[in-house]
């Protein structure tokens, strides 16, 4: 059984470790509300996101989960102020998503025209055993 996990760009940029297909990682996984991702990835893809990866305390008290990374896609989208908004906060613009399959996630993506890097969609499966490193990072299994 595979899982789809959202990894925010800022989470890995701040203090995450790079990962690649075949790596077994120890992540704190939190359940998601798919509505939170509809504008970023579209309704269909958002409905398939099972968890988000968390390194900044929101998952305190939760045990880390070992998963083996199967595939990774960068997610890029355009940001703008929604029509009729009363505040000037930038939000993802629906329908502007660009997915780019990659062989490694390090938090930094090659710039793309008219869109910004938002995060990763990671396909993974539950793993058994102990990774060589823990705490939200990479286990060198390649």
Q: How far is CA 81 from CA 19, 117, 119, in A?
A: 33, 17, 20
Rounded to whole angstroms, how far apart are CA atoms 123 and 13? 20
Query: Whole-model pTM?
Result: 0.86
Tokens 């008219």 sit on residue: 114
Asked if the model's pLDDT at residue 19 lies above 80, the reply is yes
Residues forming beta bridges with residue 72, ordered by sequence position: 102, 122
Q: What is the pLDDT of residue 65?
A: 92
Asked if the model's pLDDT at residue 105 lies above 70, the reply is yes
Give the residue-averaged pLDDT of 116-128. 96
One-character DSSP codes across 41-53? H-HHHHHT--EEE
Give the residue-averaged pLDDT of 126-136. 62
The CA-based diameter of the chain, rounded to the nearest angstrom, is 51
């Amino acid at each position: 059984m595979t899982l789809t996990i959202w990894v925010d760009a800022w989470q890995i940029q701040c203090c995450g470790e790079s990962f690649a297909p075949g790596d077994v990682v120890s992540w704190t996984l939190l359940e998601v509300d798919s509505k939170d991702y509809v504008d970023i990835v579209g309704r269909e893809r958002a409905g398939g996101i099972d968890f988000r990866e968390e390194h900044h305390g929101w998952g305190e008290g939760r045990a880390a989960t070992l998963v083996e990374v199967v595939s990774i896609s960068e997610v890029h989208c355009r940001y703008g102020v929604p029509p009729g908004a009363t505040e000037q906060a930038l939000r993802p613009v629906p329908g502007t998503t660009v997915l780019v399959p990659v062989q490694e996630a390090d938090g930094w993506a090659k710039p793309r025209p008219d869109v910004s890097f938002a995060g990763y969609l990671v396909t993974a499966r539950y793993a058994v055993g102990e990774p060589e490193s823990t705490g939200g990072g990479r286990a060198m299994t390649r």
